[in-house]
Structure 1
Amino acid sequence: MEYFNFSVKSEPERFNLVVAALLNATAEYAANNSTRRYAAGEADFNQEYPKVYSMAQCTPDLTPARCRSCLAYIIEASLSMYANLIGARTLAIRCTFRYETKPFISGPLMVSLGGTPAGSGAPAQAPAAVVTRTTAAGRGPKYRVAVMVPMVLLPILAAIILVACLCLWRRRRSVRKDESYPTTGEKAMASVDSMLMDISALRSATGDFAESNKLGEGGFGAVYKGTLPDGSDIAVKRLSKSSTQGVEHLKNELGLVAKLKHKNLVSLVGLCLEQQERLLVYEFAPNRSLDLILFDTLKREQLDWKKRYKIVNGIARGLQYLHEESHLKVVHRDIKASNILLDGNMNPKIADFGLARIFGRDQIQDVSKHVVGTYGYMAPEYVTRGNYSVKSDVFSFGVMVLEIITGRKKSKHNSNPRQSEDLLTMVWEHWKAGRVLETIDPSMNGIFSEDDARRCAQIALLCVQDNPVDRPVMSSVVMMLGSNTVSLQVPSKPEFFVRNGGARPGIGSDV
């Protein structure tokens, strides 16, 4: 969403009504009177702003009904936030609209709304609509005809109802948590429709999935960078056609990421299920994944202590949301550095929910016959018995925190969990001896908060305790990270890998 931070001074209520009527009339024309699914329009207003201009557009492959539904959804969702603003734009995957008080369109205007005299003392009324029809490329005569009565009244009535509903919605929204809940019925269908993307658009954005645009590859498929026509960057996950797990991965992503909204979770912005392709489109993280910086001897110098501490806090808050604050209780099951994306400001975003599971609110744990994940990050009870819970994520988080503060990988080979023990035990032994600062990443050249470093190391060691009961919940972790006055328990030595010498036979890993 984009908007101008300027508001109308006179007749703001009538201005909002004119904008709503104009956008609805423009959307109606784009959906039902244009094979391009495009329309532009104008409306008269007052002396302060004589004209209001609009544009609405859908991707051409949408049917008129789906185009109108998509536009109606984003207009309804956006107008309350744009109240009184002189211009704004909402760009969804399959449809978009824009309005301004200055001309921004060079082509013909298909919709024209007349205005009512300002200051007349009469109640504000929506203007009557006039449609301008032109032939292709400007050939042939141009003529203006009044829109039929239903075409005028329906958008006006819809706009009035819309403004009233948006006021009620905005009032109710202020007392709710900042969280998006699943919708049902026609609104939910419109939301899904607005996320669907055309295969040709994604092929064009990624250079037909060019190798030069590949960001990485995992067990479920490859991820490519793409650039949309408006210049915005996206990340496109191309699920493997041969992987049977890809279907489950797709279901998980759609069932979870599309419903969960938090600043420390990656956002799903689109999907495509055409030509036997299964494509998921995410917001693009310019700094890519944490592991690519943390474990690179040159790039890791970008991560000073302040950034590392912010990353640790952000991941903790994201997990707290998944485990305790969301309307869904979610266990991620694959927390690791390569699944943490970093935006342009180094804010962390938890990604890849392909292995995640939804728990009942009172459910403590579940059991998996086929253990999948990444060796070294997996909790002892998960590796040995297949038991997983929110405390399994806490263990993985603890391993990752130790990686972040030491700059050391948990293991060189995912199939050798004993090397993870080397990192955990090494940090614990230094902490026990009062020399934990010696384990801090030397690339920071000793420039870090000693108190915060000691605290981070101790919290991480508490998270990797062998017994899940001894590990803190993520809300406690967030509290411990944010306050120096909270006393910390004394961690025991991590001994799981020493006792067991690795994972039990018969389990697999999906890296």
Structure 2
Amino acid sequence: MRYQTPTTLSSSTTEVKQPASTMSAQPPSIPLSLLRLASVLICLHILTLDLSDAEHCYDNGNFTAAGNYAENRELVLSSLASNVASNGGFYSGKVGNGSDVVYMLAFCRGDFSNDTCFKCISSAAEDLMIKCPTQKAAFSWGTVDPPCIIRYSNDPIYGVKQTSPAQMLYNTGHIQMDQDEFDPIWRNLTKELAVRASMGTSELKFAAGRTLLPNFQTMYALLQCSPDLSSLDCQSCLWECIDGYQQCCHGYQGGLVEKPSCIFRWDLYPFFVSKPGNPVSSPPPPTAVAEDDHTAPLENAQVTYGKTVNSLWIVDAVEGSGVLFVMAIVFMPCFIRRRRTSPWKVLSAKEEVATTENLQFKMSEIRAATNSFSEGNKLGEGGFGKVYKGKLENGKYIAVKRLERCSNQGQQHFKDEVAQLVRLRHKNLIKLHGYCLEEGERILILEFTPNGSLERFTSDSIKRVLLSWERRFSIIRGIARGLLYLHEDSCLNIIHSDLKPSNVLLDDNMNPRISDFGMTRLFDLDQSREKTSHSAGTFGYMAPEYVRHREISVKTDVYSFGVVVLEIVSGKKYSEHLLSDAWKNWRKGATFRLIDPMLNSSSSRSEMSRCIQIALLCVQENVGSRPTMAEVVLMLGSQSTTLPMPTQPAYSTNASVGEMSTSSVSGLSTPSTNEAQDGSTSYMISLLID
């Protein structure tokens, strides 16, 4: 299967016309837009991918070569291309009777021309007959890019959502902008287009659009379902694609997910084509970003940031033999580039299994890295075990967590949970590299952070001098973004439930990395158990509803975040007076009294006071009065955003503090000064959001 950028000069994608005016001896001028496009594609490379899984033969049973089923299948496949092309890109039908009936369904991508659709279906149908010679059910993604999809079976398939197997591809280049700014824009565009596609007709469920990013790049996305699906099944299928991409390939700058019943693709260049014969069903009035003068004009043009552009991108045919010559020279090195240097990565089901196995470290490696768990390599000790500094043979430093509180779940469960947690990738989360399950041990291999925990700085009057306000504010924003990713943008949607300075680690650039998230999955701690005698958390950072009623939600993390922010701004460790002092000084308009005396920059006082107000909103007694982390990130990112007025926070009176004595809370412990770089002396839970 050939996977190309849409500007590849191919007879199956774009017809190249040569106007008479270009036949002169003088070389034609090349539009600036094409030169820009060429320079982009030099980086992206035009590539050929060997996708051996374009066809999939199911095990629904076999037929004999001389039987009626074979004849019916050949009949329906041989006429399929013309049936699909003549019916606007989608065809469903059956041939035969009784046990010999063959059900057939096929569709082309919504921006295909009839000619391209015919060629794709014809080629895929021929390959299916060859590669699935006796199977009664099979499907194909087609043998050209963009894809077309064919399904046939001895069972009815019309209206039946099929999501397995899935094929994923991603560009190994990384997003060149702040990931936390990019993620909400990416999510909003894909979500809107998924809804639009699902609301299509029984002939076409397809949507494509673009949005302008803050760095002036444009993001493009395309989503499509098999038209026979219900709106609900279509949206469900597309969301599986979107979530699957986030889970697999978060942070990369483009990708594709294909399932038998739906397609999702996005990239940072225009890869889809709008044809008069292939309109999006019920499109809204077109709006677009301002484009280069050499591109086709678009009506009602306007510049928008993070807002879906609902009109389809129109790709003009490349004009002039001179352009062809230049493009061929530019792209030739890319065609001959070997596959192993390709910027695109294909992820198959087999590779996912292999990836899981590659996460496993040998005990010999771990012992060599940590000098056999020597005391000199010990970083600290937390509620789940001891943590050691290690150095691998390749010179890479790691943190090795030697777990002591092991549950009774099997090794495969442990492996599966680690494989899930490894996929959580965000610049404000500690990276989990793998595990070791030898010699009766359960060991996690984590990213090493040379500057240790935030608690080491906030509790030390000497080290605290190193934390300028700019650095503290950057840490606050980083923690907020990390929590937002855990709550809303990750594939698992995790509640941390033990956020505190000792669980925020600082890398070599003092960027915050949240640690000890997802531990419940590894230790098999269910919520009902935690509601009885094994409450988890650290005194002072736990929301009142969690302590009193064992109620947990994303707002419990919001509460903890508020306490951490007050510690960062004030330079004081948590005490029963911290929230009371913050509230009293804010009410009197004297927040400067709470600010760390080491922060003597008067130019940042308003920003510091704003952070105190945000923190007070986070520690509200009423759960509903607390903002979400998405709202917190917005408040921190825009000084123009009006903040609500907080009310008296939880635990800000002596009476309420008295209710919170450690003796009244089962299973809790207060922070220790000898905590591990990634852990805490308290037990912790990180529950999944259902």
Same fold (TM over 0.5): yes
Counterpart CA distance in 2 for 1:263 and 1:247 is 31
Match of 1:327 in 2: 491
When structure 1 is superposed on structure 2, of 264-273 and 455-464 the one drifting more is: 264-273
Instruction: Please tell me whether the aligned partners of residues 368 and 386 of structure 1 are also in contact (alpha carbons under 8 angstroms).
Output: yes
Q: Any idea what the Cα deviations from partners look like across 1:47-87, whole Å, max 9, x if unmatched?
A: xxxxxxxxxxxxxxxxxxxxxxxxxxxxx9999648xxxxx
Q: TM-score, normalised by structure 2?
A: 0.45
| Structure 2 counterpart of 1:202, from 348, 366, 388 | 366
Match of 1:383 in 2: 547
Q: Report how far residue 331 of structure 1 moved.
A: 0.8
Q: Any idea what the Cα deviations from partners look like across 1:415-465, whole Å, max 9, x if unmatched?
A: xxxx2xx10001111111111112111223446601110100000011001
Match of 2:596 in 1: 441
> Is 2:647 aligned against 1:492?
yes
> Is 2:610 aligned against 1:451?
no
Taking structure 1 as reference, are residues 245 and 193 closer, same or farther at Cα in structure 2, changes over 3 Å only? Answer: closer
Instruction: Please tell me whether the aligned partners of residues 494 and 517 of structure 2 are also in contact (alpha carbons under 8 angstroms).
Output: no
Q: Report how far residue 318 of structure 1 moved.
A: 0.9
Taking structure 1 as reference, are residues 486 and 245 closer, same or farther at Cα in structure 2, changes over 3 Å only? Answer: farther
Match of 2:56 in 1: none
Counterpart CA distance in 2 for 1:406 and 1:353 is 26
| Structure 2 counterpart of 1:427, from 547, 559, 582 | 582
3-state SS, counterpart of residue 598 of structure 2: helix
3-state SS, counterpart of residue 442 of structure 1: coil
3-state SS, counterpart of residue 308 of structure 1: helix
Match of 1:218 in 2: 382
Counterpart CA distance in 1 for 2:491 and 2:621 is 29
Match of 2:621 in 1: 466
3-state SS, counterpart of residue 330 of structure 1: coil
Q: Any idea what the Cα deviations from partners look like across 1:203-251, whole Å, max 9, x if unmatched?
A: 11111111111111101101111111111111111111x5549999968
3-state SS, counterpart of residue 316 of structure 1: helix
Q: Any idea what the Cα deviations from partners look like across 1:318-356, whole Å, max 9, x if unmatched?
A: 111111222322111111111111111111111102555
Match of 2:667 in 1: 508
- Aligned ranges 1:119-198 → 2 under 5 Å: 169=256, 172=265, 174=267, 185-198=349-362
Q: Any idea what the Cα deviations from partners look like across 1:96-120, whole Å, max 9, x if unmatched?
A: xxxxxxxxxxxxxxxxxxxxxxxxx
Match of 1:294 in 2: 458
Taking structure 1 as reference, are residues 312 and 14 closer, same or farther at Cα in structure 2, changes over 3 Å only? Answer: closer
3-state SS, counterpart of residue 427 of structure 1: helix
When structure 1 is superposed on structure 2, of 384-393 and 284-293 the one drifting more is: 284-293
Taking structure 1 as reference, are residues 270 and 243 closer, same or farther at Cα in structure 2, changes over 3 Å only? Answer: closer
3-state SS, counterpart of residue 429 of structure 2: coil
Match of 1:229 in 2: 393
Taking structure 1 as reference, are residues 223 and 460 closer, same or farther at Cα in structure 2, changes over 3 Å only? Answer: same
Match of 2:636 in 1: 481
Instruction: Please tell me whether the aligned partners of residues 332 and 356 of structure 1 are also in contact (alpha carbons under 8 angstroms).
Output: no
> Is 2:372 aligned against 1:372?
no
Instruction: Please tell me whether the aligned partners of residues 263 and 349 of structure 1 are also in contact (alpha carbons under 8 angstroms).
Output: yes
When structure 1 is superposed on structure 2, of 294-303 and 253-262 the one drifting more is: 253-262
Q: TM-score, normalised by structure 1?
A: 0.60
Counterpart CA distance in 2 for 1:223 and 1:435 is 42
Taking structure 1 as reference, are residues 245 and 351 closer, same or farther at Cα in structure 2, changes over 3 Å only? Answer: farther
Gaps of 5+ in 1: 1-10, 21-75, 83-166, 178-182, 359-364, 412-418
| Structure 2 counterpart of 1:408, from 568, 572, 577 | 572
Match of 2:77 in 1: none
Q: Which amino acid aligns with 2:267?
A: S
Q: Which amino acid aligns with 2:397?
A: D
Q: Which amino acid aligns with 2:613?
A: Q
| Structure 2 counterpart of 1:238, from 402, 411, 418 | 402
Counterpart CA distance in 1 for 2:44 and 2:605 is 57
Instruction: Please tell me whether the aligned partners of residues 479 and 513 of structure 2 are also in contact (alpha carbons under 8 angstroms).
Output: yes
Instruction: Please tell me whether the aligned partners of residues 265 and 349 of structure 1 are also in contact (alpha carbons under 8 angstroms).
Output: yes
Q: Any idea what the Cα deviations from partners look like across 1:8-33, whole Å, max 9, x if unmatched?
A: xxx9999988x99xxxxxxxxxxxxx
3-state SS, counterpart of residue 664 of structure 2: coil
Match of 2:125 in 1: none
Taking structure 1 as reference, are residues 403 and 250 closer, same or farther at Cα in structure 2, changes over 3 Å only? Answer: farther
Match of 2:509 in 1: 345
Q: Which amino acid aligns with 1:196?
A: Q
Q: Which amino acid aligns with 2:382?
A: G
Q: Report how far residue 499 of structure 1 moved.
A: 3.4
Taking structure 1 as reference, are residues 245 and 315 closer, same or farther at Cα in structure 2, changes over 3 Å only? Answer: farther
Instruction: Please tell me whether the aligned partners of residues 367 and 388 of structure 1 are also in contact (alpha carbons under 8 angstroms).
Output: no
Taking structure 1 as reference, are residues 246 and 478 closer, same or farther at Cα in structure 2, changes over 3 Å only? Answer: farther
Q: Any idea what the Cα deviations from partners look like across 1:172-198, whole Å, max 9, x if unmatched?
A: 353899xxxxx8842221111111111
Counterpart CA distance in 1 for 2:348 and 2:43 is 33
Counterpart CA distance in 1 for 2:520 and 2:407 is 16
When structure 1 is superposed on structure 2, of 489-498 and 372-381 the one drifting more is: 489-498
> Is 2:425 aligned against 1:266?
no
Taking structure 1 as reference, are residues 406 and 341 closer, same or farther at Cα in structure 2, changes over 3 Å only? Answer: same
Match of 1:307 in 2: 471
Q: Which amino acid aligns with 1:174?
A: D
Instruction: Please tell me whether the aligned partners of residues 222 and 238 of structure 1 are also in contact (alpha carbons under 8 angstroms).
Output: yes
Counterpart CA distance in 1 for 2:549 and 2:170 is 52
Determine what percentage of the aligned residue pairs are the same residue: 44
Counterpart CA distance in 1 for 2:44 and 2:571 is 57
Instruction: Please tell me whether the aligned partners of residues 287 and 342 of structure 1 are also in contact (alpha carbons under 8 angstroms).
Output: yes
Instruction: Please tell me whether the aligned partners of residues 265 and 350 of structure 1 are also in contact (alpha carbons under 8 angstroms).
Output: yes
Instruction: Please tell me whether the aligned partners of residues 451 and 510 of structure 2 are also in contact (alpha carbons under 8 angstroms).
Output: yes
Instruction: Please tell me whether the aligned partners of residues 422 and 434 of structure 2 are also in contact (alpha carbons under 8 angstroms).
Output: no
Taking structure 1 as reference, are residues 281 and 298 closer, same or farther at Cα in structure 2, changes over 3 Å only? Answer: same
Instruction: Please tell me whether the aligned partners of residues 224 and 237 of structure 1 are also in contact (alpha carbons under 8 angstroms).
Output: yes
Match of 1:68 in 2: none
Instruction: Please tell me whether the aligned partners of residues 547 and 665 of structure 2 are also in contact (alpha carbons under 8 angstroms).
Output: no
- Aligned ranges 1:391-406 → 2 under 5 Å: 391-406=555-570
Q: Report how far residue 386 of structure 1 moved.
A: 0.5
Q: Any idea what the Cα deviations from partners look like across 1:452-493, whole Å, max 9, x if unmatched?
A: 101000000110011111111111111111111111122122
Q: Which amino acid aligns with 1:368?
A: K
Structure with higher Rg: it is 2
Q: Which amino acid aligns with 1:341?
A: L
Taking structure 1 as reference, are residues 389 and 251 closer, same or farther at Cα in structure 2, changes over 3 Å only? Answer: farther
Q: How many residues align?
A: 346
